[in-house]
Structure 1
Amino acid sequence: MGSSLKVGNNSYDYSFKILLIGDSGVGKSSILLSFISNSFYHLNPTIGVDFKIKLLTVNGKRLKLTIWDTAGQERFGMLTSSYYRGAHGIILVYDVTRRETFANLSDTWAKEVELYSTNPECIKILVGNKVDRESERAVTREEGMALAQEHKFLFLECSARTRETVRQCFRDLIYKILEVPSLLEKGSAVVKSQILNQQKVCQATHGSGCCS
């Protein structure tokens, strides 16, 4: 991946929506902050869906990532279908030191993704966080790999605290998204821009009804 670019809203080739889901306290917000910033900060649990934007260049393509964080809403069962709608990539996070967070991915979160995700070819990656606490591990790497294989997810273990493989998580996800034509089409900023321009020209020339 290239370095982040501070560019205007229309100066990117693709715009992708990425979700972070999983039980409260598994480190979703910490993973997000570790990726978008140069250092790790401790985050207090937050209420209300939050998102961050990351601009970067991959293989010469300028990407705008809008990364959504559940921000505590999952504790109240308040995630709705709109949270999942249009997602190009989903990061399912569990805590390797808390076995129930791993079980809930299969029992709850994977089922929600299947139910609400509107992009059939959306890329999913299973992430076991907090591997820096190896002595407290309650879920083996092999178990994580097996669950990922069962659901056809990508798989990684990481540590948001030490930033170990956090960037690789997003890199693997983005490269896979870039391999799927349907996701590229839905995320194309060029296509959206062309449609909007065409509508403006059409409305200016013939009135508002011609492009309906």
Structure 2
Amino acid sequence: MVLLHGKLVVVGDMTVGKTAICHVAGNEATAYPKTYNCTNLADLVLKQIRVPDSDDTVEFFLFDSSGNSVYLDALRDVWVTMDMYCIVYDVTNRSSFKNCAMWLEQLSQSRGDHNIFGVLVGNKIDKENHRVVSTQEGKQLATSRKMGFFECSAKDNKGIGEIFKYLASEFVTRYRTRIRTLEKMARDNY
């Protein structure tokens, strides 16, 4: 059994639903936020996920980052120690999808470490009649950037759990790989 702590940075344009996703995840969907204030800089939400088919648990420190560009310089200081990221876009807003590349670049500049991983999340699938970004477009972007891909509705609590189960599983897998690598290095040096 392993208990790991991981810093998950959640980014994306304003009003794509980052705060709603974090709130629903952190509160086990007991209450969807009908109203909330725009996030200033970053809010912290804690969430524990048991890795499917194991006794391992990951405690996420979710940093819900503001989508306001005014805070970018300060956010880079928050992002520098991230273990993983979640880039969110609104499936009814093409501009928020196009800006995902910019968010990925901002995260890369902050961390400068290619060992981190992340997911691309299309939110607001409950508004299917207003969709302008297809599932295929999201999958293509995620695949080209070597990210996991998910679609969800924070409003209806659809797909949220799958995102965090994936991130937890991947985080534990990477941890175990690092441990094996270090053990091998130790054996080889003796």
TM interval, shorter chain, is 0.7 to 0.9
Q: Partner of 1:54 in structure 2?
A: 47
Kindly report which structure 2 residues correspond to 1:9-20, keeping only aligned pairs within 5 A, or say none: 13-20=3-10
Whole-angstrom CA distance in 1 between matches of 2:161 and 2:14: 22
TM-score, scaled relative to structure 2: 0.83
Structure 1: which 5+ runs fail to align? Answer: 1-11, 186-212
Question: 1:44 aligned to 19, 34, 37, which one?
Answer: 37
Question: 2:59 aligned to 52, 60, 64, which one?
Answer: 64
Pair 1:125–1:183, CA change in 2 (3 A): farther
Whole-angstrom CA distance in 2 between matches of 1:96 and 1:56: 26
2:72 is aligned with 1:82: no
Q: Partner of 1:156 in structure 2?
A: 150
2:174 is aligned with 1:180: yes
Once the two structures are TM-superposed, the CA of residue 76 in structure 1 deviates from its matched residue by 4.6
**Overall identity of the aligned pairs, in %:** 25
How many residue pairs align between the two structures? 173
Instruction: In structure 2, give the amino acid aligned to 1:46.
Output: T
Once the two structures are TM-superposed, the CA of residue 14 in structure 1 deviates from its matched residue by 1.3
Q: Secondary structure at the match of 1:132?
A: helix
Pair 1:158–1:75, CA change in 2 (3 A): farther
Q: Partner of 1:33 in structure 2?
A: 23
TM-score, scaled relative to structure 1: 0.75
Whole-angstrom CA distance in 2 between matches of 1:54 and 1:117: 23
Alignment deviations for residues 16-38 of structure 1 (CA, whole Å, 9 cap, x no partner): 10010010110000000111112
Whole-angstrom CA distance in 1 between matches of 2:56 and 2:104: 30
Higher mean alpha-carbon deviation, 111-120 vs 72-81, is at 72-81
Alignment deviations for residues 121-154 of structure 1 (CA, whole Å, 9 cap, x no partner): 2121000000000010010111001100111110
Once the two structures are TM-superposed, the CA of residue 79 in structure 1 deviates from its matched residue by 4.3
Larger radius of gyration: 1
RMSD: 2.0
Whole-angstrom CA distance in 1 between matches of 2:75 and 2:41: 12
Once the two structures are TM-superposed, the CA of residue 56 in structure 1 deviates from its matched residue by 4.0
Alignment deviations for residues 57-86 of structure 1 (CA, whole Å, 9 cap, x no partner): 332124321100114544554443222112
Pair 1:160–1:82, CA change in 2 (3 A): same
Q: Contact 1:131–1:157 (CA<8 Å) still a contact in 2?
A: yes
Once the two structures are TM-superposed, the CA of residue 173 in structure 1 deviates from its matched residue by 1.2
Whole-angstrom CA distance in 2 between matches of 1:118 and 1:111: 10
Q: Partner of 1:23 in structure 2?
A: 13
Q: Contact 1:51–1:66 (CA<8 Å) still a contact in 2?
A: yes
Pair 1:90–1:73, CA change in 2 (3 A): same
Structure 2: which 5+ runs fail to align? Answer: 180-190
